[in-house]
Amino acid sequence: MAATIANAKSRQGSTQRSSKGWMIACTMLVALVGAIALDTKVVVIGSAEDARQEAFNPDRFGQQNFPRIRDAVIAKAPDATDLAAGLKSDKKAAVKEYATMAGAFPVLPVKLSGVAGKGSSGIFPVLVEGLPEGTKVRVQTGPAINGTELRDIVGDIEFGQFKNQIEYQDAGAGINRAMAADILSDLDRGSLEGKSIEVIGAFKLINPKNWLVTPVSLEVKP
């Protein structure tokens, strides 16, 4: 009889300990869930926060930014003859007036009219009257558009806005694709040679006598 009572008390003590252990575990679990909840940020789908957490999309970036880049270049672009004369007479002053610095080289807007020559890989030389002797002008028409002139010309798209160098480069490529889709998709490159064209665009000033222009506007004259 005494053994039975002792066994019952032992089982009761064990049950009480198990119950206390379960309550402690539950309390710790509740505290953990609460801590996670406090540290969790709820993002509403479609909100600005949601957009920022998405992976970088260079094409969307290009579509969003190309219109303002185009407008800025058109508003600022000097005539090619005036720009060439300024670069020849006082390069430093011309750069200060028109250019945006992109690393070691200035990027310049320009407006030009001329006759397209024979193209190669989508790049056409343009004979522009009134330029200093030896000055060569070429215009990119795609399909592939290279360079970061359109990204750099406005001066407010900077490396620090992006996660890494790859995103920064992709941003430039996205802007180029947006431009090409907007103004070059219907261009008949096969018949461009010999045609009069009007171009507004930007080029990196590496050699003052050799301009490779990336357009923001290109019109073929009838």
pLDDT of amino acid 49: 52
CA gap 18, 82 in Å, rounded: 91
What does the pLDDT read at residue 217? 98
**What is the value of pTM for the model shown?**
0.76
84 vs 1, residue with greater confidence? 84
* 8-state DSSP, 105: E
Q: Where are the domains of the chain?
A: 1-40, 56-220
Residue 6 has pLDDT above 50, yes or no: no
Please determine, for residue 9, whether its predicted confidence score (pLDDT) is greater than 90.
no
DSSP 139-193: EE--SS--SSHHHHTTS---GGGSSSHHHHHHHHHHHHHHHIIIIITT--GGG-T
Q: Are 116 and 126 contacting, i.e. CB atoms less than 8 angstroms apart?
A: yes
- Residue 47: pLDDT over 60: no
Residues in contact with 57: Cβ distance below 8 Å, sequence separation at least 6, in sequence order? 174
Task: Fill in the amino acid letter for 8.
Answer: A
Buried b / exposed e along 102-113 (16+ C-beta atoms within 10 A): beeebbbbbbbb
Query: Can you read off the two tokens belonging to residue 90?
Result: 């006082």
pLDDT at position 8 is 46
Run of H or E including 204: strand 196-204
Q: Collapse the DSSP code of 50 into the 3-class scheme (helix H, G, I; strand E, B; otherwise coil) and give the result.
A: helix
Q: Which CATH class is domain 56-220?
A: mainly beta
Q: Read off the pLDDT of residues 81-107 as tens digits, 9 standing for 90 and up.
A: 999 999 999 999 999 999 999 988 999
Number of neighbours of residue 144 by Cβ within 10 angstroms: 12
- Name the β-bridge partners of 120: 123
Find the mean pLDDT for residues 114-124: 97
